[in-house]
């Protein structure tokens, strides 16, 4: 009596490998989506905390804090790679952060820093940089300070606002009327959608 050897055929092995590949892809996409949502939630929480901190600072000092380092752009938080954010436009300013924390009575949160993006974290832009909002032209628009952050996902709405829109090609002139997609600048490539929140100026 001969024994029949049992085992996988080539076809069965290919099918098993194909199923494993499909399941791996599904898990990878789901994991990345969950990570993206978690980073957006962390950044939104931090943006809300900073917006409240600036409101409190203005209430106590009748003005927003001014950066103590050149450039008029400050990374909000203290744990940035190379002490820079947003393509290097913003820098960590420890004196600025200390002044802001003094009015809140505690530490302020660090936003998420996605690895694939150059627009990392949250940045404060002083009104002295020249950004203006509303008015029929740049000349008669109001100087304004901005809280700037990004959200991953091309269709993700800015969770903390209201965000400004840019009515012309002049990058320094904005409108306080939020854009329909609730993004000041749409996502491009690996970079997130940009959310420019004008700090109250009236």
**Tens digits of per-residue pLDDT, 133-167?**
998 888 899 999 999 999 998 788 999 999 999 87
> What pLDDT was estimated at residue 30?
47
Q: Read off the pTM.
A: 0.82
Residue 6 lies in a domain: no
- Is 5 part of a structural domain of the chain? no
Residue 198 confidence (pLDDT): 96
Is the confidence at residue 25, as pLDDT, over 70? no
Host domain of residue 64: 11-198
Count up the domains in the chain and report the number. Answer: 1
Contacts of 177 (CB under 8 A, 6+ apart): 165
Question: Is residue 4 in some structural domain?
Answer: no
Mean pLDDT, all residues of the chain: 86
Residue 192 lies in a domain: yes
Give the pLDDT band (50/70/90) at residue 97.
very high
The answer as to whether 125 is a domain residue is yes
């Amino acid at each position: 009596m001969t024994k029949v050897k049992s085992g996988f055929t080539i076809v069965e092995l290919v099918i098993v490998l194909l199923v494993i590949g499909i399941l791996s892809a599904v898990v990878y996409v789901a994991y990345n989506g969950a990570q993206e949502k978690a980073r957006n939630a962390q950044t939104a929480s931090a943006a809300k905390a900073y917006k409240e901190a600036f409101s409190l600072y203005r209430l106590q000092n009748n003005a927003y804090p001014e950066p103590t380092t050149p450039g008029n752009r400050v990374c909000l938080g203290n744990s940035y790679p190379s002490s820079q954010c947003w393509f290097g436009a913003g820098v960590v300013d420890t004196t600025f952060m200390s002044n802001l924390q003094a009015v809140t009575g505690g530490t302020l949160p660090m936003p998420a820093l996605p690895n694939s993006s150059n627009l990392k974290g949250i940045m404060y832009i002083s009104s002295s940089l020249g950004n203006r909002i509303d008015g029929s032209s740049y000349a008669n628009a109001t100087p304004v300070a901005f809280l700037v952050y990004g959200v991953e996902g091309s269709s993700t709405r800015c969770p903390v606002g209201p965000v400004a829109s840019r009515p012309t090609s002049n990058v320094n002139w904005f409108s306080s009327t939020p854009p329909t997609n609730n993004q000041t600048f749409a996502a491009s490539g690996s970079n997130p959608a940009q959310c420019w929140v004008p700090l109250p100026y009236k």
